[in-house]
Structure 1
Amino acid sequence: MEDRAAATESPGETGNQALSSRVIELRKKRGLTLEQLAAASGVSRSMLSQIERGKANPTLAVTLRIAQAFGMNIGDLVDQPWTASRIEVVRSDDTRQLFRDDRECRIRTLSPLHMEKNVEFYEIRLAPGARLHSAPHFEGTRELLTVTQGHAAVAAGDNRCELSAGDSAHYHADLEHTILNRGDEELIAFLVVTYQ
C-alpha cells in the first residue's frame, strides 16, 4: 500500500473528509504551501493535493509522515486522541477500515487507524484471476503474506513464488510487486507491512 495505490482507492468518505479538512486547517494555520508541506513530510505534492480534496485514502505510513511534518502524532492529526483502553477492537463491519472494496479486491485494515507505528496489518480478498499490483513502497518496506484460502502467485522484482493455504511469503516491497489469485475460488490472505 503506498502513495500511488492510495490515490486510486476511495473507501470511507467520512474519514477522508475529516482528514482533508484537518490537513488544510493545519497547513494554512502554519502558512505552508503544498510544496513546503511535501518537502517537510516526504509525501508528494500530488498526493497531498488529493488528500486535501478528499480523493485519496492515505496509508498509515503516509498519514504518519504528514503528522510528523506538523510535529504531532497520528491521533492528534485525525483529532482522535489515544484512548486509555487496554483493548481496541476492529469490528468486521466497520466500513472505515476498508482500504479498498470492489468486485475484484477487498482490502480491510486490521490495525487501529490512529496508531503511530511501523507495522500495518491487512486482510486481503481477491476474486479468481484478480491481481493486486503495487509500485515500490518506501525504501526498507517489507511484506509478509499468509494465505488462508486459495492459491496465490507472488512477484517482487524478479522473484516469483506460488502459495497455497497455510503458506507464507516474506519479500521486499520497496520493489514493484504483485499478488495474483491463480485459483478458481476467492483468495483470502493476511498481509503485514513493515517499515524500517
Structure 2
Amino acid sequence: MQDKKSEISNNAASQRPRRRRRAPSTASDPAHLQFSRRLRVLRRQRGWSLEDLAAASAVSRSMLSEIERGNANPTLAVACRIAAAFGLSVGQLVDGGAASPIEVVRAGDPAHLYRSDEQCRIRTLSPLHLEKQVEFYEVTLRPEGALRSAPHYAGTREFLTVVRGKVGVESGEHRAELAAGDSAHYRADLPHAIVNLAAEEAVVFLVVSYPGGTA
C-alpha cells in the first residue's frame, strides 16, 4: 500500500506544470539602454519616422520600436544595419561620451549633420544622447539662403551670434539686421527666420531654449 501511495505521489509530482523561468531583463543593461536612448535621439534629430528608419536600415518598424523603448536587445547584425543607416559604426552610435566629463563633437561626425540643402547646412553641437531643454547649432546659410521655422512650443526663445556674413532675423512681424560679431535673442514661438542678406555664405551659432522639458 505504501509503495502504491508513493507511486501515485511521484506521478502527480511529475505531472505538475513547471513554472517557466522568466527571461532575463535588459532594463538594467547600461549598454542596451545607451543604444536605445541614442537611437531615439538620432532618429529625432534627423526628423525620421520609425518607417523612415525601417526603410533605411532594413529593420522592421516593430523591432525598431521595441529597441527604442528598451524592450528588445538588438543582435549585432541588426545593430550594424541601424548604425549604417546613420552613416556610423556601432561603436560611434553607442558612444555617447558618458565615460568622460569632456564630450567632444568632431567636425566631421556625420551623426551631427542635421540638415544640408540648397538653403543651409546645420550641424548639431549639443549632445545627441541627452534629452535636453537647450539645443546648440552651427548654421551655415547659403548665399541668399534662409532658415525658416514654424512656431515652436510657447515660451521657446532663440539666441543667435553671427560669426561671418550679414543676416536678417525675423520673429513674427519684427525684423533686425546683424553683421559679424552681433548677437540677438528673440521669440521662437512665432513664425521666425534667419535670412542671409549677402551673396556669400553666412555662419551663425544658434541656441534654442525650450520651456520646462519640452525639447
User: What SS does the aligned partner of 1:180 have?
Assistant: strand
Matched, 1:94 2:109: yes
- Equivalent in 193, 202, 207 of residue 187 of structure 1: 202
Partner Cα distance (1:21, 1:158) in 2: 44
How many positions carry a matched residue from both structures?
140
Partner Cα distance (2:140, 2:172) in 1: 22
Aligned-residue Cα RMSD (Å) equals 3.2
- Equivalent in 33, 41, 65 of residue 24 of structure 1: 65
Query: CA 1:81/1:161 → structure 2, altered by over 3 Å: closer, same or farther?
Result: closer
Identity score, percent: 51
Deviations along 1:144-182, whole A, 9 cap, x unmatched?
011010010111011110000001110010111011100
Partner Cα distance (2:172, 2:185) in 1: 13
Query: CA 1:181/1:170 → structure 2, altered by over 3 Å: closer, same or farther?
Result: same
Counterpart of 2:164 in structure 1 is 149
Partner Cα distance (2:183, 2:198) in 1: 16
Partner Cα distance (2:200, 2:62) in 1: 41
Counterpart of 2:190 in structure 1 is 175
Unaligned runs of 5+ in 2: 1-44, 72-85, 87-92
Deviation of 1:86 (Å): 1.0
Matched, 1:117 2:117: no
User: What SS does the aligned partner of 2:65 have?
Assistant: helix
- Equivalent in 65, 70, 83 of residue 98 of structure 2: 83
Query: CA 1:22/1:179 → structure 2, altered by over 3 Å: closer, same or farther?
Result: farther
Partner Cα distance (2:200, 2:96) in 1: 41
Deviation of 1:184 (Å): 1.8
TM-score normalized by structure 1?
A: 0.62
* Structure of larger gyration radius: 2
Q: Which moved more, 1:109-118 or 1:160-169?
A: 109-118
Partner Cα distance (2:201, 2:192) in 1: 20
Matched, 1:139 2:180: no
TM-score normalized by structure 2?
A: 0.57
